[in-house]
Amino acid sequence: MARRTMALIPHWSSRVFAVELDGAAFYFATREKHRGEEAPRVFREVQNNARCYSLLVCSGDRIRRAKFYAELKDTLLRDLPPQCHLSSMSSFLPNVRGSLLKGYFLKDTSESSSPTERLLRDLSQHDPVFVCSYSKCEDDRLWTQHLWSHADSPTTEMSKDHYVVPSEEPEYHPSTLNIINSDVFYSFEEACDVLKKCGDIIPEALSVLELLPSRAAARSKPDFPVIVIEGLDATGKTTLTESLRDALGASLLRSPPQCLSPMRPRFDQEPPLIRRAFYALGNYITAEQIGQEAMRTPVIVDRFWHSTAAYAIATAVSGQVCNLPAEGSEVYCWPSDLLQPSLVVLLTLDPEERKRRLRDRGQGKTEEEQELDQNKLFRLKVEKAYQRISGPACVAVDASPSADQVLQQVLLLIRGKCHL
């Protein structure tokens, strides 16, 4: 903890802080001297009797950091006074990858600060968090930030108060600084490394590692075409993939592969870093299966890396669609060590028609599917991420006609692009 703290302290005054309120990020920074700026909006709206605090998770071990961040919210919701309002926040060095620290911003309107500060003091002394308190100056327009000392940290540098000032919105949304090999994995080794480090705390991780190929399959061109069918639930993927299998005499595979089904419930409960590594490795297991099948027959794949990446990116990036990495960003590039399909078809469907089909199914929904139904913005971000992934890019096909019409349209695409 001490090394991590001392590494961050020299950069503290260069950091930007972002508080998420109602789906939007509000930015502020700190300065030793005030230059007459108005207080950042997040503080202007604080009630007179409220006290503000922030917690940023700072462990150098990213597995521990991910686990603790997920558990911290439960701790705060359980132990803080009911008058405390909790918002997500982050701290980062503008445009510096790997600099993102995640945490929470508190507004406490309870009568006494003692219960809140007692909990925060205990966290700052025993857990991997930076705690800051914020105080209004005699001039109501001014606020200061006080970084609490940690038991293992040099107090002289941390005890100095800084003025809180507005900060411009950064060129890149802060969450995009953390996507590479954290929310989305771009190599077999990176994803494998995460699960190896989880072996002592998640027994199922060892079971997954035993199922993995010894290394990522070489990215050589398969003997037969590999066609991936993507799309949100209820767009007709299952019907289409089975029809393509029969029409082309092809093999049909699904990602994540069936062999991982017993482990999915456990990993779906884990923080994003661990959960995404698990699903990334599922793609590499599927790739090995594709390589074997494509030596003797065409292969149809129900979802692959596009799904893994699109959902992860949409989940990681908060706020509006414009916060997503721009088209052409490296986050949309296909992993260099993952088997590349010959064609990727993205089935699209009017949102209301998709909801009707889901109702007709009467099936239980995944957490992400519930989010798609309830949150139009999340759906738009998933769809935009799908459209921006390259190497190969998706070819969109309208799934609203009859199943046979969609099949014939996709067969024409396959014959044109894959020469089948």
Residues 153-183: b if buried by 16+ CB within 10 A, e if exposed:
beeeebeeebbbbbbeebebbbbbbbbbbbb
pTM of the predicted model, to two decimals?
A: 0.89
Contact yes or no for 255/283 (Cβ under 8 A): yes
Distance (Å, whole) CA 14 – CA 17:
10
Query: Is 222 in contact with 339 (CB distance < 8 Å)?
Result: yes
Nearest to 416 by CA among 312, 342, 332, 307: 342
Q: Considering only the C-alpha atoms of the chain, give the largest distance between any 2 of them, rounded to a whole number of Å.
A: 78
For the chain, the structural domain boundaries read: 2-177, 179-418
Per-residue tens of pLDDT for the chain, all 420 residues:
444 444 555 578 889 999 998 878 999 999 988 888 888 989 987 877 889 999 999 887 889 999 999 999 999 999 999 999 999 999 999 888 888 999 999 999 998 889 999 999 999 887 789 899 999 887 777 899 998 876 544 444 445 788 999 999 898 889 898 999 999 999 999 999 999 999 899 999 999 999 998 776 656 678 899 999 999 888 899 999 999 999 999 999 999 999 999 999 999 999 999 999 999 999 999 999 999 999 999 999 999 999 999 999 999 998 889 999 999 999 999 999 999 999 999 999 888 888 787 777 665 555 655 666 558 889 999 999 999 999 899 999 999 999 999 999 999 999 998 876
How far apart are alpha carbons 111 and 383 in whole angstroms? 46
3-state SS class at 40: coil
As a whole number of angstroms, the distance between CA 385 and CA 149 comes to: 41
* CATH class of the structural domain 179-418: alpha beta
